[in-house]
Structure 1
Amino acid sequence: MRTISVVVTLIALAAAVGVVNMEQSTLDAEMLKAGEGRKWYRGNLHTHSHWSDGDDYLEMIALWYRERDYDFLSFTDHNVLANTERWVDVEKTKGGRKAYDKLKARFPDWVEERTRNDRLEVRLRTFEEVSEKIGVPDEFLLIQGEEISDRFEKYPIHMNINNVVEVIPPMGGNSVYETIQNNVNAAISQRERTGQPMIIHLNHPNFGYAVTAEDLMKVQGEKFFEVYNGHPGVHNSGDHHHVSVERLWDVVLAHRLGILGLPVMYGLAVDDGHNYHNIPSRASEPGRGWVMVLADELTPESLIDALEAGRFYASSGVALQQVISSPKRLRVEVDSEPGTTYTIEFIGTRKGFDPVGKPIVDDKGNELHATHHYGDDIGAVLSRHEGTSAEYRFEGDELYVRARITSSTPHPNPSEPGEFERAWTQPVVGPAAIPDLPR
């Protein structure tokens, strides 16, 4: 992986739920960059295996990422942790004989197998076993996670918790919002009870068009969601009745920072990989989206600390050389590729936006479960630049500003047709959302 020199001056937000409370000391220009004890780490926080509905074994998936210069990977199978004894019928797994043959060829003395009723079975290795065998101290870290797969009525509501200790069963609720909040509360409870750092985030809000901006904007106690998910079936771009996930992000940010007094919401890019054979194809495969995290060391604790501080960006292919952010400006510099051009857009919402949305109705006039229609003053493109670097200077009325960088290079294995490689910086809280900031 190329060395990335990135400078970030970040706004510190209150970690606890409630009105944004910014100490003056956090407004000073603090330079955070790779070096002086910090490094950039590339990782994926959403992965599936034979422990639920993936088509490969933990150890083979871990090798795929390790051999492609990832620094960390979290396994997040549905409603299960890989910490018990489990045997599977080889032919009945999603990967079938192909996955078994590849595992056997790579680890001939590692595979535990038996025959029962003339059927070949393999013991699935636990997370701890795989972590010990495939992980490399200070080079490649495996993190235990879970995808809490819940629902309200017909709407699937999935949330990933990373560095989890115990399985969290789906908590349910009387609405989409309440279901999300109940699962967040369970994650917070486990973190407080065990003392182990862990984070929970909302997965693919447009999967089944389950989660609206009005649902997500009210959630307290967590501030992460997937702005890019590599699964082809999660509708990142929305449709004629449903907004894109990125548009949903702006609606959430505007209301949390401008109306509700809640902390910023950060955007993650993930793979949501299920299929690890015959790559590339139109299946849900690895390598489509990731996060770059600036951390003190390659440990779950350090990575989570950096994520919660916003010291990361999301990417589906674009690398950033430098990002400078403060209450006065946001500057982006791309780690450019030869022959590639870049469009840098600064996107934000100003104080005084219209917070009232219009419900979406179908052709018969029935209101749909969909994010409302809001004016163009939410998530406006404040400036657009062609080139490898650009800067936006705050005018004083911005609630937040974020940058989206789009490459001229098509994504080599896109989740949707027509994708180009991109990167997303995290939102910088603007002057209008910071109490008592001198204008």
Structure 2
Amino acid sequence: MRILSVVVTLIALVAAIGVVNMEPATLDADVLKAGEGRKWYRGNLHTHSHWSDGDDYLEMIALWYRDQGYDFLSFTDHNVLANTERWVTVDKTKGGRKAYDKLKAQFPDWVDERTRDGRLEVRLRTFEEVFEKISVPDEFLLIQGEEISDRFERYPIHMNVNNVVEAIPPMGGGSVYETLQNNVNAALAQRERTGQPMIIHLNHPNFGYAVTAEDLMKVQGEKFFEVYNGHPGVHNSGDHHHVSVERLWDVVLAHRLGILGLPVMYGLAVDDGHNYHNIPSRASEPGRGWVMVLADELTPESLIDALEAGRFYASSGVALRQVVTSPRRLMVEVDPQPGATYTIEFIGTRKGFNPVGQPIVDDNGKELHATHHYGDDIGTVLARHEGPSAQYVFEGDELYVRARITSSTRHPNPSEPGEFERAWTQPVVGPAAIPDRTR
């Protein structure tokens, strides 16, 4: 009995030592990895068609994404839902005869057409019709959305609502910030009234250099924006007077978490596709950026739940096997491709950063509508690792940490010249963030 007692004691001691030596974050970590009923779903949340200023029909666009292995797609035409009867003159559509001939060849018994005053017209199929035609249960999902296309003075302010029930007209406002907030409020009101889950996000903040970090950081009820947009004309990288969209993200995060007491903001990657012929080219095309969402099932409700919980990453080509987050660390593991190498950067802002920015002025000393200049203590590269996996352990003074993963492989059809394939994890709220922060 005495020997048995010693053995039991030793086993207990070894077990206790194992718990003590275990990385503390594993005890309360959120492991974003396929398995146990969850899957990674690839999707695009920003798409245009003949219902506004795209150059192809809904059914052809949906078929392209389905054939390319996407799991879901949201149609987001400008200020309209595809839910009414609409006839268009073929030769006056953006896609013209080329798009029409492709549609007829693909769906010879599907096209509704007529001739009026000697002009060939075709009926645009509604979202519901295309959903029934193209969607595949548990394999490919179409989601109805809208791009609310608003403006303040000369600044275009566009926001996407996904899984929307009714079209939301541009709400306007007395400033860029007020315009943003009014449109967010309208989407939240519809969600509350209808009971249908839906999300709103800010599109391409550098389009027309309309939205500054100072505008976006104050918006409440909205926690998504586009950190990568595949349209060549939206200035993801900024210019000598305007910060990049990724820099804007860090300024927003630092102020929301460190000063304003607002929740974290997540970054999306999207196509913003308008042109679906002659791929690749320098036009706004599909296949450049997407989100990978870890969800329980392929439904709008499950996807939105995962997005709002931050269980996703944004990508322009890099795939991740898993992301492990906790109050103590952020760990990333890449799904490596043959011949590619990877750089993983952990980016964040520490408590005590200088929140005061300096206005940007032009060559004549006139203040510009642009994100202010802030110090290097915002959006600092806290650690850099070469290889397909890495982790960052919090030191205790971080407000947030996010990871950017860059491949040595160049993007095959970039939105800007010289792009490399990348992925962006969502920010993890750090131990120094304002108490009672919700993710």
What TM-score results when the alignment is normalised by the length of structure 1? 0.93
Shift of 1:384: 0.6
Which residue of structure 1 lines up, in the alignment, with residue 253 of structure 2?
A: 253
In 2, the alpha carbon distance for the partners of 1:37 and 1:325 equals 19
Query: What pairs with 1:355-370 in structure 2 (closer than 5 Å)?
Result: 355-370=355-370
Segments of 4+ moved more than 4 angstroms: none
- The 3-state SS of whatever aligns with 1:391 is strand
Paired with 2:415 and 2:282, the residues of 1 have a C-alpha distance of 7
Aligned counterparts of 1:429 and 1:336: Cα–Cα separation in 2: 27
**Are residues 1:312 and 2:317 paired?**
no
The question of whether the paired residues in 1 share the 8 Å contact of 2:47 and 2:74 is answered with: yes
Alignment match, 1:204: 204
Count matched residues.
Answer: 412
The equivalent of 2:386 in structure 1 is 386
Match of 1:410 in 2: 410
**Aligned residue for 2:73?**
73
8 Å contact kept, 2:212–2:248: yes
Return the offset for 1:44. Answer: 0.0
CA displacement, residues 248-295 of structure 1 (integer Å, 9 cap, x when unaligned): 000000000000000000000000000000000000000000000000
* Match of residue 263 from structure 2: 263
Secondary structure of 1:63 counterpart: helix
- Is 1:84 paired with 2:105? no
Structure 2 counterpart SS, 1:191: helix
Structure 2 counterpart SS, 1:432: coil
Q: Could you say which structure has the higher helix fraction?
A: 2
Amino acid at match of 1:187: A
1:83-162 equivalence runs, <5 A = 83-162=83-162
Q: Percent identity?
A: 91
Find the aligned partners of 1:109 and 1:436 in 2 and give their Cα distance. Answer: 58
For residues 127-150 of structure 1, give each alpha carbon's deviation from its aligned partner in whole angstroms, at most 9, with x where no partner exists: 000000000000000000000000
Alignment match, 1:287: 287
What is the CA-CA distance between 1:436 and the residue it aligns to?
Answer: 8.0
Whether the 8 Å contact between 2:33 and 2:323 is mirrored in structure 1 is: no
> SS at the partner of 2:165?
coil
2:163 equivalent in structure 1: 163
For residues 195 and 324 of structure 1, the distance between their equivalents in structure 2, rounded to whole angstroms, comes to 32
For the 8 Å contact 2:55–2:94, the answer to whether it is kept is: yes
**AA partner of residue 155 (structure 2):** Y
Contact 2:30 2:324 in 1 (8 A): no
1:88-108 deviation per Cα after TM superposition (whole angstroms, max 9, x unaligned): 000000000000000000000
- The answer for unaligned runs of 5 or more in structure 2 is 1-26
Q: Is 1:334 aligned to residue 318 of structure 2?
A: no
Call closer, same or farther: CA 1:165–1:364 in 2, change over 3 Å: same
Q: Does the CA-based 8 Å contact 2:151-2:179 persist in structure 1?
A: yes
Q: Match for 2:124: what amino acid?
A: L
Whether the aligned pair in 1 keeps the contact of 2:261 and 2:434 (CA below 8 Å) is: no
Provide the C-alpha distance between the structure 2 equivalents of 1:145 and 1:340, rounded to a whole number of angstroms: 36
With over 3 angstroms needed to count, the CA separation of the structure-2 counterparts of 1:188 and 1:436, relative to structure 1, is closer
Instruction: Specify the SS of the correspondent of 2:248.
Output: helix
CA RMSD of aligned residues (A): 1.2
Structure 1 or 2, whichever has the larger Rg, is: 2
Query: What does residue 10 of structure 2 align with?
Result: none
Structure 2 partner of 1:39: 39
Which range moves more in the overlay, 40-49 or 332-341? 332-341
Q: CA deviation at 1:434?
A: 5.2
Alpha-carbon distance in structure 1 between the residues aligned to 2:31 and 2:49: 40
Task: Name the residue aligned to 1:321.
Answer: 321
Report deviation, 1:327: 1.0
Deviation at 1:337, TM superposition (A): 0.7
Q: What is the distance in 2 between the residues matched to 1:71 and 1:420?
A: 24
